[in-house]
Amino acid sequence: MCGIAGWIDWQKDLRQEAALLERMVSALTPRGPDDAGLKLERHVALGHRRLIVVDPEGGAQPMTRRYGARELTIVYNGELYNTEDLRRPLLAQGYRFRGHSDTEVLLAAYAAWGDTCLTRLNGIFAFAIWDRQREELFLARDRLGVKPLFYAPRPDAFLFASELKGLLAHPLVPPELDRDGLAEVFLMAPARTPGHGVFRGVAELRPGHALRHSRRGTQITRYWALEAKEHTDDTEATVHTVRDLLRDTIERQLVSDVGVSALLSGGLDSSAVTAFASAALRRDGRPPLRTWAVEFADMAEHFRPSDFQTSLDGPWAAKVAAYLGTDHRTVTLGAREVADALDAATMARDLPGMADVDSSLYLFCKEIKEESTVALSGESADEVFGGYPWFVRPDALAARTFPWALRQSDRLALLDPDFVRYLDADAYVAWRYEDALAEVPRLPGESVTEARMREILHLNITRFLPTLLDRKDRMSMASGLEVRVPFCDHRLVEYVFNIPWSMKTLRGQRKGILREALRGDLPDDVVDRPKSPYPSTPDPRFLQTVRKGALEVLADPRSPLQGLLNRPAIERLARADQDPFALPWFSQLMGLAQWFAYVLQLETFMRRGPVTTPYRPGRRLDVLTPAEAAGAD
């Protein structure tokens, strides 16, 4: 993977702005530690940081090619898994290539087919192409949003970057939060409304969208969306199709000029990826797949089974590794180092995130990077196949809000009451939820149950999954590790989305259709193992550390969180002797310990820059100055 950044300015001569472009690009160095490149013309500046995975000699960027009288330049972050399928028709049309990189194929595909090339791509990507003759910039992002892309339009300028930090490195993008930005951080996070860039004047190019910018302005188009279709395959055909699509997807994603590893928890999803990848490598006579598991020190001592985590991952990962003959490694993390990494994880994500779930993944990826550059992971299987508890919990199905955040009132109780009123918190969350529901495609004639399950699935794919993809991308790329996510293949997602819920839950099991598709490839007890999420540390030392740190933040009169948090309520919570996973305020494992950790992440985030806001504790909204009121909209 890589990092990309760029700047269009119709008034400035950007050939004189190399230092500023370099600052934007340097902010993305961890994404591409192997190489860097800049291209500056009068009104366009493009930058790239490269992580070398394919074609070390021929894949340098920015890449410029001439096609007749037309000159195109690309900066690209991603990986195409159907490069050769694209190369063949392009060769037949007369296009020629200097190397074997997917970058050059993508650029030629755009030259040949224009915007419609996007419908031919199978992969994960965010890229920008500058057409010199037309003075036009084209941006596009993959269908599920595996690779990030943010932009900031200005009156005479337009900036973009893979991560927010790339934009914030430019003086035209100060770290300011308006009221909606504050709501995203304090009410929605660690989820984020698709398209919302959090900072004032910043947007995210949404998954499945493309953008064109020129002197005439900016146009955004959607080239892909999930559609509701009647599923006509019977159960047997569905099982075979799911298996074939998954196997083909995983085999495609093994393409690399460097070794490929896999993240293995011993759960169904990571075990499926490992099984098909191992079989493909063995068939091709390649060395055994290297697999990686993460553990917390003293996990067995502190672990207590729950509805969310029924068993330890370690023994299951070892069992699957032995069964498939992988080269298996385990990374063990301590409570103190996980807590110490919260700041680094926040800086990697540019926003407060998922507490120790982020910081442990950050440390895990750093260890993997010592020996690997590419890894496969099982993200999105639960969103696509319906694996989370909230797919079956009556309270979650009946709730008129996001099913992974049912404890909104508990969360609001930890914010200052005046701040809650300023945010108009309940209305903001309800607005975002109704917007999400309005996007759900409908299938006429569906039963009430099937229609509701389609809603829940769509919410998970479009609102919850991006949170996990953000986490995986930022935590891995902060170490220059490329993580691929086979379950995000759009062909698989499109097919499974329309499998009726009654068939998805074959044999009365969550993800039953996937389990059936994997029988024979994995031991039956692995296939039938209940869902177990990425682990969050139960070590009481973690709770003690983050609780102490959060209380110190609350007591600091210089903290930017003063007047935003409900100090008495949090202090009462800190004095209570509760389970670390009490107060589940987001997802499955974001409880009490994670709230204190989130306070620390908020502090890191707000001090960076520092972040400025129009909110003034103790000031009623109706007495804000005109400038402050404008910032509150």
Q: Does 371 fall in a domain?
A: yes
Does 198 map to a domain? Answer: yes
On whether both 261 and 360 belong to a single domain, the answer is yes
pLDDT-derived band of residue 624, with 50, 70 and 90 as boundaries?
A: very low
Dihedral through CA 507, CA 509, CA 513, CA 518, nearest 10?
-100
Domain membership of residue 40 (yes or no) is yes
Is 212 found in the same domain as 239?
no
Q: Give burial (CB, 10 Å; 0-12/13-18/19+) of 168.
A: buried
Whether 23 shows a pLDDT value over 60: the answer reads yes
Q: Alpha-carbon distance 403 to 31, whole Å?
A: 33
Same domain, 406 and 465: yes
Which pLDDT score is estimated for 539? 85
Q: Which of 614, 572, 567, 354 is nearest to 474 (CA)?
A: 354
Residues 620, 493: one domain?
no
Cα–Cα distance measured from residue 568 to residue 583, given in angstroms and rounded to the nearest whole number: 17
Pairing assessment for the beta strands 203-204 and 150-154 based on DSSP bridges: antiparallel
pLDDT number for residue 437: 98
Q: Answer yes or no: are the C-beta atoms of 157 and 143 closer than 8 Å.
A: no
Per-residue pLDDT at 631 exceeds 60: no
Q: Give the domain-ending residue among 527, 555, 583.
A: 527
Q: Would residue 2 show up in a list of annotated catalytic residues for this protein? A: yes
The residue among 163, 189, 222 that closes a domain is 222
Distance, in Å, from the CA atom of 251 to the CA atom of 488, rounded to the nearest integer, reads 14
Question: Are both 618 and 478 inside the same structural domain?
Answer: no
* CA atoms within 13 A of residue 67's CA, in its CB half-sphere: 23
The percentage of the chain sitting over the pLDDT mark of 90, rounded to a whole number, equals 86
Asked if 381 contacts 504 with a C-beta cutoff of 8 angstroms, the reply is no
506 and 590, same domain (yes or no):
no
Q: Are residues 572 and 627 in the same domain?
A: yes
Q: Which range is least confidently modeled, 12-21, 53-62, 526-535, 614-623?
A: 614-623
On the 0-12 / 13-18 / 19+ scale of CB atoms within 10 A, 392 is middle
* Mean pLDDT of the region 611-623: 75
What span, in angstroms and rounded, lies between the C-alpha atoms of 413 and 572? Answer: 12
Condensed to tens digits (0 to 9), the pLDDT of residues 138-162 reads 999 999 999 999 999 999 999 999 9
What's the whole-number mean pLDDT along residues 245-274? Answer: 94
Nearest CA to 160 out of 196, 203, 117, 208 is that of: 203
Domain count for the chain, please give it.
3
Retrieve residue 436's tokens: 């999400």
Residue 96 and residue 204 in one domain: yes
Higher pLDDT residue, 589 or 233?
Answer: 233
Contact 118, 212 (CB under 8 A): no
Mean pLDDT of 66-81: 96
Span 276-294, average pLDDT: 96
How far apart, in whole angstroms, are the C-alpha atoms of residue 583 and residue 83? 47
Q: Does any domain span residue 189?
A: yes
Q: Are 463 and 436 in contact (CB under 8 A)?
A: yes
Encode pLDDT of 540-553 as tens digits.
Answer: 899 999 999 999 99
pLDDT band at residue 587 using 50, 70 and 90 as cut-offs: confident
Q: What is the CATH number for 468?
A: 3.40.50.620
Residue 150, strand partner residues: 161, 204
Q: What is the pLDDT of residue 287?
A: 94
d(CA 499, CA 71): 45
Q: What is the CA radius of gyration of the chain?
A: 24
Same domain, 77 and 161: yes
Q: Give tens-digit pLDDT for 299-329.
A: 777 776 666 666 788 899 999 999 999 999 9
The CATH code of the domain that includes 108 is 3.60.20.10
Split at pLDDT 50, 70, 90, the class of 622 is very low
Task: Give the span between the Cα atoms of 299 and 539, in whole angstroms.
Answer: 7
Residue range 472-497, pLDDT digits in tens:
999 999 999 999 999 999 999 999 99
| pLDDT of 433 above 90 | yes
Q: Are 580 and 306 spatial neighbours (Cβ–Cβ below 8 Å)?
A: no
> Structural domain of residue 131, as residue ranges?
2-222
User: Which position among 2, 117, 365, 488 bears the catalytic label?
Assistant: 2
Residue 408 has what pLDDT? 92
Same domain, 395 and 272: yes
Does any domain span residue 532? no
Q: For residue range 180-233, what is the model confidence (pLDDT) as tens digits?
A: 999 999 999 999 999 999 999 999 999 999 999 999 999 999 999 999 999 999
> Is 602 among the domain residues?
yes
| Both structure tokens of 599 | 């306070």
> What's the confidence (pLDDT) of residue 633?
46
Whether 64 maps to a domain, the answer reads: yes
176, 256: one domain: no
Do 33 and 140 sit in the same domain of this protein?
Answer: yes
Quick check: 112 and 93 in contact, CB under 8 A?
Answer: yes
Helix and strand numbers (H, E) in the chain are 27, 17
Residues 28 and 49: beta-carbon distance below 8 Å: yes
Let me know if 284 is exposed, middle or buried by CB neighbors in 10 A (0-12, 13-18, 19+): exposed
The structure tokens listed for 620 are 């009623």
pTM of the model as a whole = 0.95
Place of tokens 């500023």: 20
Q: Note the pLDDT tens digit of each residue in 445-457.
A: 999 999 999 999 9
Domain assignment of residue 230, yes or no? no
**Among 275, 362, 360, 287, residue whose Cα is nearest residue 546:** 360
Chain-wide mean pLDDT for the chain?
93
- Among 505, 527, 549, the domain-final residue is 527
Name the band, by pLDDT with cuts 50, 70 and 90, for residue 619: low
